[in-house]
């Protein structure tokens, strides 16, 4: 059946969203714009794309049809339109076109589409998008486009991969376009995806979070991803309330046919659902003793948090907050809004200074407080620090002493407590405890974007003012410091809960900072 004149034009943007999430594409077209939130991840993706394209074609690309006629090495801003299966109207705006020496209506040259990828591998999204660009470009230039180019990285590390655009890929494109067209004419959005852990980068996350909470979606239960949700649906358990009402032993037996791991986790999932339904934290039945025995006699703690660029595998900032017991042997309370505790020490890992300098500074600081535990939230900090020590030639004995000082607060929390939260990430847990970050709407992605802007501005040809660069750096430091203070908010809560059932230890000796 031909497409209705009232049907929406299928754009490459809608296709990209649909491949990622059927609901997202519908919201992109029909959703209220006020429910969409800005995400630094989009800005980071555009920044990565720019870096990759500049490495591929150092000269500035031309723009539009005129640049194509002139044979520019690279072209941006070309609008492509065409017709797809069943008369579907198509429109695309390729990120970059690269000239190739094959004839077209413009002369002895033509173009192929270029896509910048993030991540380590090609995905279905990349393949289908390039196939659409290639098809519409071939019609527009009246010359075949047999391959597209995928690039990643920058400078000497630029990776190039040719992707054949014919055969089965064109059939996949037709199928995707037809399904997308059917989805977009629905009156209601498609259901939430099974695994909502992947929604963290989406600008519609807040809107879908509210729907999930109202529905009692199984993905709201911490520990349930897409696979486990499908298994529970097969058993007739479709919501958080139904999971909370399930018999844990019976559920364990039902899930045992899939794996022993599912059998073991079943009682924990039921317990987690019950805690979330009741809204009251509960001690884990497997926990014994205090959650943080290391703090019983410690004179102080170092709160440790790293900021990283995961794609570049670069830990660019190591931040430590030095927090000492009071004269009466008591620990400081949880920080209030905007309150700063302890002394903050940021250590920047600049490539031009070398990793050896960073290790010496960290080593010196850690040696200054030998009896202080190093508290962090999640395994990133311990893994990164121990690998750094190994690369810098630390002895087995020194690494073992360092390992013994590192305390993963996230791990201890999960071992000892069930909380009425849908995630045990630092933002969610500390937020539930009442902690607030001093910079609203800032996350790790925004911090990384500031870092890249600071690096480019401090060494690039078009430098912002010194004050502007200093403000970006201070924002990064404050976000890193807040993460450590959020970790302390969780620590204080754990200590307070232990104090309710255990007598307070005698005051520990204090040491100067």
Q: Which residues make beta-bridge pairs with 76?
A: 63
Average pLDDT on 320-338 reads: 90
Question: DSSP character for 34?
Answer: G
Residue 75, φ and ψ in degrees, nearest 5: -140, 135
Per-residue confidence (pLDDT) for residue 257, from 0 to 100: 85
pLDDT at 502: 61
389 vs 396: CA distance, rounded Å: 10
Neighbour-count burial of 74, counting CB atoms closer than 10 A to its CB (0-12 exposed, 13-18 middle, 19+ buried): buried
Kindly report the backbone phi and psi dihedral angles of residue 258, in degrees, each rounded to the nearest multiple of 5, phi listed first: -90, -40
Pair 15, 84: CB distance under 8 Å: no
Q: In the prediction, which pLDDT does 353 show?
A: 86
pLDDT (0 to 100) of residue 510: 47
- Contact status, residue 282 vs residue 353, Cβ threshold 8 Å: no
The per-residue pLDDT for 464 is 64
pLDDT at 39 over 80: no
Supply the pLDDT for residue 88.
95
Q: Which two tokens stand for residue 262?
A: 């599912």
Alpha helix positions (H), 142-259: 168-184, 205-215, 226-234, 240-244, 248-255
Count the neighbouring beta carbons within 10 Å of the beta carbon of residue 469. 17
Cross-strand partners of 394: none
In this prediction, residue 458 has a pLDDT band, given cuts at 50, 70 and 90, of low
pLDDT for residue 376 is more than 70: yes
Sign of CA dihedral 212, 218, 224, 230: negative
pLDDT score at 309: 85
Average pLDDT over residues 92-98: 97
Give the pLDDT of residue 154. 74
DSSP string, 327-353: TTSPPP----TT---SEEEEEE--TTT
% of the chain with per-residue pLDDT over 70: 95
**pLDDT recorded at residue 461:** 47
Residue 354 has a pLDDT of: 87
Query: What is the average pLDDT across 19-33?
Result: 93
- Please report the pLDDT score of residue 386 as a whole number: 96
Residue 438 CA: distances (Å) to CA of 40, 305, 356, 480: 18, 16, 33, 11
- Greater confidence (78 vs 311) lies with 78
Non-local CB neighbours of 46 within 8 Å, separated by 6+ positions: none
Q: How far apart are CA 53 and CA 82, in angstroms?
A: 26
Q: What is the phi/psi pair of residue 4, to 5°?
A: -70, 145
The better pLDDT of the pair 307, 501 is held by 307
pLDDT tens digits for range 287-314: 788 999 999 999 999 999 999 987 777 8
Model confidence, pTM: 0.84
Does residue 462 carry a pLDDT above 60?
A: no
435-453 average pLDDT score? 89
Give the pLDDT band (50/70/90) at residue 14: very high
Check pLDDT > 60 for residue 505: no
Rounded to an integer, the average pLDDT of 86-100 is 96
Q: Distance between CA atoms of 474 and 454, rounded to whole angstroms?
A: 11
pLDDT digits (tens, 9 = 90+) for 50-71: 889 999 998 999 999 999 999 9
Residue 153: predicted pLDDT? 83
- Of 79, 150, 72, 80, nearest to 111 by C-alpha is 72
Give the pLDDT score at 1.
44
C-alpha radius of gyration, the chain, whole number: 27
- Summarised one tens digit per residue, pLDDT across range 161-219 is 999 998 899 999 999 999 999 999 999 999 988 777 777 778 898 899 899 989 899 98
| Least reliable range by pLDDT among 274-278, 282-286, 470-474, 494-498 | 282-286
Across the range 99-105, mean pLDDT stands at 96
pLDDT higher than 90, residue 28 = yes
Does residue 478 surpass a pLDDT of 90? Answer: yes
Q: What percent of the chain stands above pLDDT 90?
A: 69
d(CA 314, CA 343): 25
């Amino acid at each position: 059946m031909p497409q209705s004149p009232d049907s929406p034009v299928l754009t490459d943007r809608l296709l990209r969203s649909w491949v990622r999430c059927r609901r997202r594409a519908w919201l992109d077209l029909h959703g209220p714009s006020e429910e969409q939130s800005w995400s630094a991840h989009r800005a980071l993706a555009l920044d990565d794309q720019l870096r990759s394209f500049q490495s591929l074609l150092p000269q500035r690309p031309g723009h539009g049809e005129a640049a194509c006629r002139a044979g520019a090495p690279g072209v941006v801003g070309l609008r492509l339109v065409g017709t797809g299966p069943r008369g579907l109207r198509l429109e695309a705006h390729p990120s970059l076109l690269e000239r190739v020496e094959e004839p077209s209506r413009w002369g002895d040259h033509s173009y192929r589409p270029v896509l910048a990828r993030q991540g380590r591998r090609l995905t279905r999204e990349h393949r289908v998008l390039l196939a659409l660009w290639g098809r519409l470009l071939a019609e527009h230039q009246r010359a075949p486009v047999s391959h597209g180019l995928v690039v990643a990285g920058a400078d000497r590390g630029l990776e190039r991969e040719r992707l054949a655009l014919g055969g089965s890929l064109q059939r996949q494109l037709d199928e995707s376009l037809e399904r997308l067209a059917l989805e977009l004419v629905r009156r209601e959005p498609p259901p939430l995806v099974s695994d909502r852990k992947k929604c963290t980068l989406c600008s519609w996350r807040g809107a879908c979070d509210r729907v999930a909470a109202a529905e009692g979606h199984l993905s709201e239960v911490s520990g349930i991803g897409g696979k486990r949700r499908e298994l529970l649906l097969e058993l007739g358990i479709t919501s958080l309330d139904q999971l909370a009402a399930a018999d844990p032993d019976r559920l364990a037996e039902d899930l045992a046919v899939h794996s022993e791991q599912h059998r073991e986790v079943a009682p924990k999932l039921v317990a987690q659902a019950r805690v979330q339904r009741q809204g009251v934290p509960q001690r884990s039945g497997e926990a014994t003793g205090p959650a943080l025995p290391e703090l019983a006699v410690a004179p102080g703690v170092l709160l440790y948090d790293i900021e990283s660029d995961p794609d570049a595998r670069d830990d660019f900032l190591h931040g430590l907050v030095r927090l000492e017991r009071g004269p009466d042997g008591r620990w400081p309370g949880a920080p209030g809004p905007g309150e700063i505790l302890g002394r903050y020490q940021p250590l920047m890992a600049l490539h031009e200074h070398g990793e050896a300098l960073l290790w010496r500074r960290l080593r010196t600081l850690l040696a200054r407080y030998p009896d202080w535990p190093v508290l962090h939230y999640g395994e990133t900090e311990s893994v990164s620090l121990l690998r750094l020590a190994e690369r810098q030639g630390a002895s087995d004995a020194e690494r073992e002493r360092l390992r013994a000082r590192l305390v993963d607060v996230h791990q201890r929390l999960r071992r000892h407590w069930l909380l009425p939260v849908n995630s045990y990430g630092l933002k969610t847990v500390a937020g539930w405890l009442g902690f607030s970050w001093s910079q609203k709407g800032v996350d790790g992605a925004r911090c990384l974007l500031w870092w890249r802007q600071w690096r480019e501005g401090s060494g690039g040809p078009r430098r912002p003012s010194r004050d502007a660069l200093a403000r970006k750096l201070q924002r990064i430091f404050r976000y890193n410091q807040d993460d450590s203070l959020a970790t302390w908010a969780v620590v204080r809560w754990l200590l307070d809960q232990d104090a309710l059932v255990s007598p307070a230890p005698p005051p520990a000796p204090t040491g100067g900072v």
